[in-house]
Homo-oligomer: A and B are copies of this chain.
Amino acid sequence: MTVSKTVEKAGDAKGRKEAPEVQGEALQLGELSEQLGYVLKRAQLKVFENFLRCMASLQLTPAQFSVLLLVDKNPGRNQTEIASTLGILRPNFVAMLDNLESRDLCTRIRSTNDRRSHILVLTDKGKAVLTRAKKLVATKHESRLNDLLGQANREALIVMLSKIANEF
């Protein structure tokens, strides 16, 4: 009982008792390892974790990166359009934009056509940060995926996940 759980290996310390109590061996995942939802969630957490590490120098979350990418690709759009495309609810998008704007990465511009809406644009700093972020993602993040899965498999994976996201 003085050996920590992480040190114990399957095979040693067969400490079974009369009751159905077991110790030491790694647990059997069983059908769990075949459950799409389970493995999908675990993979997503790992990928986000790695993304955050790669982006530590720029302090960008996956959600923030997606906003910068989308605003850059779609100039002249308002908050509602950007948010809804990303699956972010408008109320929750406000604090997110406050953050990006306070860091001078993005600006809200009151539309002249419709004075209710805010057109979103990246600042020069925002564009520069996005460029650096893309490089970090490509060299540190996505490249590891290629190393792990291979280029062809990585592309097949994206295709399948997109299909699930769009058609499931």
Chain A residues within 8 Å of B, Cβ to Cβ: 1, 5, 17, 19-22, 27-48, 50-51, 62, 66, 69-70, 72-77, 80-82, 84-85, 87, 111-114, 119, 121, 134, 137, 142, 144-145, 148-149, 153-154, 156-158, 160-165, 167-168
Contact = CB atoms under 8 A, between A and B. Distances in A.
Given A5-B80, A20-B75, A37-B51, 12 more contacts: A1-B114, A21-B111, A22-B75, A22-B77, A32-B69, A36-B145, A40-B40, A42-B165, A43-B165, A148-B163, A148-B168, A157-B160
A154 B100 CA distance: 39
A50 to B, nearest CB: 6
Nearest to A167: B148
B149 A160 contact: yes
Given A31-B134, A35-B137, A47-B36, A156 B156 contact: yes
Contacts of A168: 43, 46-47, 50, 144-145, 148
